Structure 1
Amino acid sequence: MPAPPRERPHLERRLGLPSAIAIGLASMLGAGVFAVWAPAAGAAGSGPGLLAALAIAGFIAYCNARSSARLAALHPQAGGAYVYGTRRLHPAAGFAAGWAFLVGKTASAAAMALTLGAYLLPDHPRALAAAAVVAFCAVNLLGVKRTALASAVFAAVTLAVLAAVVIAGATGPVAAQPLDGTHPWGVLTAAGFLFFAFAGYARIATLGEEVKRPEWTIPRAIPIALGITFAVYLLVALTVLKVLGAGTLADSTAPLADLAGASAPALKPVVAIGAGIAVAGVLLSLLAGIGRTALAMARDRRLPGGLAAVSERFGVPWAAELAASGLVLILVSTLDLAGAIGFSSFCVLVYYGVANAAAVTLDRRAPLPWLGLAGCLLVAASLPLSSVLGGLAVFAVGAGWYAFTASRARRANP
C-alpha cells in the first residue's frame, strides 16, 4: 500500500482585528503617499484630474477589497487570490494571480528598499536597502506577531508625520502652480499610479491562515484599513494641491518634503525620516506577503516543494521568506527605479482582476466584482507602454512555467 500523504504544516492563527488592521495600514500608508503624487499629477494634467484619479483608484480598491474580504472569509488560507482563482475559476487563473503577486510585489519590495535608502542614506542607497531587506527578513522569521507589532509602530509614526505635514500645509502660504488641463486618458493612467499606493490591503488576505476568526475578522479589517487610508490620502492630496499646485507637484521628486519646505522648513528632516519609516513598514509587510503566497504555490507544487517548509518554533514559512528576500536582494543591486511603480501596478491589477473574477462566482448579479474586474483591466491598459509590455512579457514567462509544471504533474499522475 502507498504511504499515506503527510499532513501539511499549518500556520498558527495569532492575529486579531487590531493586528490585521495595523498590517493593512502599514502596507498602504507607505512609500506611495510620499512618492506617487508626482507621476500621478503629471499624467492627470491638473488638480481636478488628480482628485478624479484618486477617486477612481479608491473605488477600484474598494471593489477589490470587498471581493477579497468575501473570498478570504470563505477560503481562509495563505495565498490570497492565488487560492481564490485556483478553487473558484481554474488552476491556470490561480497561477496567474500568484505569479502576478510574486513578480509585482518582489519588484515593489526592491523599489521600496531603494526608496528607503534614497531617503535615509542618499550617498549609499543600495547598501542601506540591502541591510533593510536582511533586517526585515529576520523580523519576519521570528513570527507574525512581531510583524504585526512592527507594522503598528510604522503605521503610527507615518500617520503622525502626515498629520504634521497636512497641518503645516493647511496653515501655510499658498504658492500653487497649475497645469494646462485635465487629460481624460491621463486620469486613468494617474489612477494606475495611485492604485500602487492602495494595493497593500491584500496583505491581510494573504495572511488569512494566521488570522483569528477569519470569517469575521477579514471582512472588517480590510474595509476599515482601506477607509482610513483613503481619508488620509484625500487630505494629503488636497494639501499638496493647495500649497504646490499640480504644476510644481508634477516636477517634484519628494513632494511632501517640498510641501514641508514651502510651509514649515523645520519639518523637512522629519518628513525624510517619516518617509523612511513608512517605506520600512511597507517593505516589512511585503516580504511577509510574498513569502505566504510562495508558500501556497509551493504547497500545490506550482513552485519548488521545499518552499513549503514552515518553522515549528515560530510558525512562519521560513524557506519562502528566505527565497523571497534573496530575490529582492538581487533586484536591489540591479533594479532601476524608473517604471517600477507602473510595472508593479500592472501586475497587481491583474492579481485583483483574478480576485474579482473569482468573486463573481459567489453571486453573478452582484455589481461590485464586475465593476472591479472592468476597472482593473481598464486602468492596467492605461499604464505606460513600457509597464504594459514588461508585464505581458513576465506573464508569458509565467505561462511557460505553468505549462511545464502542469505537464510534469500529468506525467506523475497519468
Structure 2
Amino acid sequence: MRTPDHAQVKLNRTISLPMLIFYGVGVTIGAGIFALIGELVGLAGHQAPLAFLLAGIIAGVTGVSYAKLSSIYPRAGGEAVYVNIGMGPFWGRVVGLGVTATAIISSAVVALAFAGYFQQLLHLPTPLITSIVILTLAGIAWFGVRESVLFAAAITLLEIGALIVIGSLGAANLMDMNAVVQSLNPLAENADLIAITSAAMIAFFAFIGFEDIVNMAEETKDPEKNVPRAILVTLVLTIIVYMLVALVAVTSIEQHTLAASRAPLADLYTAVSGRDGALIALIAAIAMVNGILVQVVMASRMLYGMAQEKLVPGFFGVLDPKRQTPLYATWFVAGLTILLALSFPLVHLAQATSAIILFVFSLVNFSLWRLGGRTETPTLLRKWRWWGLSGTVICAGLLLGEAIKLI
C-alpha cells in the first residue's frame, strides 16, 4: 500500500557492475576529450600523451581513496557522507553543496555548448535549445535510474566507438616506436616540463567524473564491491582511451593545425581517414548531451543523500513513489541549470569548478586520513590512512598552484 508521505519509498537497486562502469565511463569520457585534445597538443606538443598519463595518475590517487571509502560507506551523497563522518556536518555540507554546484554549473556550460553545435543544423534561439535539452534529460533522469543509465550507456558506446575508430585508423602511425617513446619521455628533445605540467592540469579535468559513481551506491547491486571496482575500471579505461587518442593525434597531424582547430577530433578523423569529419562533430554534440544527463542524475542523488544525512532540507530526500527516483531534487537541479544557462556569464564560473573539485578531493582524502586514525574505524581504512594524507597534499598543492596563477 502506497504511503502518502513517501516515507517508505527507497531508491531502486537495479544497477549491475557493467551498467555502473558504463555510467562511470560515460560521465568521465565525454565532451572533454573532444574539446581538449587540440589545446593540450598546443601546450605540450609531442608530449601531450604524457600530460594525459600524468593527469590520470593524479586522478587515480584520489580514485583509490574514493574506492576505499565507498566500500565501507556505500551511500548516495558520496563525498558529503565521507566528509561528514570524517570531519563533521559543516564540512560535509560544504563538500556536498560544492559537488552539486559543480555539476549544475558544468551542465549549464555544456548545454550552451550543445546549443552552439545544434544551431549548425537548425537555427533556433539559444534559450529555447538549452531549455528543451535540459528538461528532456531531466525527464529521463526522473523516469528511472535504469533508463537513465541505459541511455547514458548507449551514448557512451557511441563516444568510445568514435574514439576507437580514430585510434584504429591511426594505429599504423604508432608503429614508429621511437616516436611513441619520445611522446612519453619528459626529457625528450624539445620537451618543456613546465608546458607538460600545465597541460596535465588541463587534462586532469578531462578525468573528472569518476567520482560521480559513488552517488549511485544505493541504486547499485552489491555496492560494497561493485562501486570500488567501477571506479578503478573507469579510471583505467579512461587512461587507455585518452592515451591512444593522444598518441594518434601527435603522430598523425601537424600540431599547429590541431591546436588551432575548433573541432580537433573531427579534423584528426579527416587526417587519418581522408573522409569528412562531420559525423565526429555530431558525435561530439551527442557526447555533450550525455554529460548533461549524468550530471543531472549525480546532482539529484547528491542532494538526496545529503537530505538523508540531514545536511539539506528534507524535501530533497523525497522520492517519486512510482519511479523511485529523487522527485524534487531532479527538477530543482534542472531548473537551476536552466536559470544559470540563460541568466549568467558562465566563463568564470566554469573556471571555478576546477578549484571546487580540487577542494573537494582534498577534503575527501583528508577524511580518509582522519578516519584511518580512529580505533573504531574498519581495518581497511586504517591501512590506507597515509594514502589519504598523500592525496590531500597532492590535491591541496595543485589547488594552491592554481591560486598562485591568479595572483
TM-score, length basis structure 2: 0.84
Q: Which moved more, 1:8-17 or 1:121-130?
A: 121-130
The equivalent position to 2:112 in structure 1, one of 114, 137, 143, is 114
Q: Secondary structure at the match of 2:277?
A: helix
CA deviation digits over 1:365-412, x for unaligned, max 9?
6553233222222233334878x69xxxxxxxxxxxxxxxxxxxxxxx
Checking the alignment, whether the CA contact within 8 Å between 2:30 and 2:290 is kept in structure 1 is yes
Once residues 257 and 347 of structure 2 are traced to their aligned partners in structure 1, the CA distance between those partners, rounded to angstroms, is 20
CA separation of 1:337 and 1:110: change in aligned 2, threshold 3 A: same
Structure 2: which 5+ residue stretches go unaligned?
1-5, 177-182, 184-188, 373-380
In the other structure, the counterpart of 1:22 is 22
The equivalent residue for 2:397 is 378
Superposed CA deviations along residues 248-272 of structure 1, whole A, max 9, x for unmatched, are: 3333322101212333353411101
Q: 1:234 offset after TM fit, Å?
A: 0.4
Kindly indicate whether residue 34 of structure 2 is the aligned counterpart of residue 34 of structure 1: yes
Name the CA distance, whole Å, in 1 between partners of 2:254 and 2:401. 24
Match of 1:92 among 85, 90, 93: 90
Amino acid at match of 1:25: V
Q: Of 200, 203, 211, which residue of structure 2 is paired with 1:202? A: 211
2:241 is aligned to 232
- Within 2, Cα distance between the matches of 1:161 and 1:340? 30
1:151-170 equivalences in 2 (<5 Å): 151-170=152-171
The answer (yes or no) to whether the contact 1:189–1:384 under 8 Å persists in 2 is: no
Q: State how many pairs are aligned.
A: 378
Superposition pairs for residues 1-400 of structure 1, below 5 Å? 9-42=9-42, 44-48=43-47, 50-122=48-120, 123-124=123-124, 125-170=126-171, 182-336=191-345, 338=347, 342-360=351-369, 361=372, 362-363=381-382, 366-383=385-402
Q: 1:81–1:101: structure 2 CA closer, same or farther, 3 Å change rule?
A: same
Q: Secondary structure at the match of 1:198?
A: coil
- Paired with 1:339 and 1:96, the residues of 2 have a C-alpha distance of 20
Q: Assess if the C-alpha contact under 8 Å between 1:294 and 1:307 holds in 2.
A: yes
Q: How far off its partner does 1:99 sit? A: 2.1
Tell me which moved more, 23-32 or 356-365.
Answer: 356-365
Q: Which residue of 1 aligns with 2:186?
A: none
For each residue in 1:166-221, what CA deviation from the matched residue of structure 2 results, as whole angstroms up to 9, or x when unmatched?
233345899xxx9x955544434322321222111112101111111111111111
Over 3 Å counting, the alpha-carbon distance change for 1:63 and 1:115 in structure 2 is same
Label 1:121 to 1:165 Cα distance change in 2 as closer, same or farther (>3 A).
Answer: farther
Identity of aligned residues (%): 26
- Calculate the aligned-residue CA RMSD, in Å: 2.8
Aligned-partner Cα distance in 2 for 1:380–1:40: 20
TM-score, length-scaled by structure 1: 0.83
For the residue of structure 2 that corresponds to 1:277, the secondary structure is helix
What are the ranges of 5 or more consecutive residues in structure 1 without an aligned counterpart?
1-5, 390-414
By how many angstroms is 1:86 displaced? 0.1
State the secondary structure of the residue aligned to 2:249: helix
Deviation at 1:80, TM superposition (A): 1.0
State the Cα deviation string for residues 38-81 of structure 1 (Å, max 9, x = none).
34344x44322x33321221012212221111111211111111
Report what 1:402 is aligned to.
none
Residue 140 of structure 2 contacts residue 147 of structure 2 at CA under 8 Å; is this kept in 1? yes
2:382 is paired with a residue whose SS is coil
Runs of 4+ in 1 over 6 A off after TM superposition: none
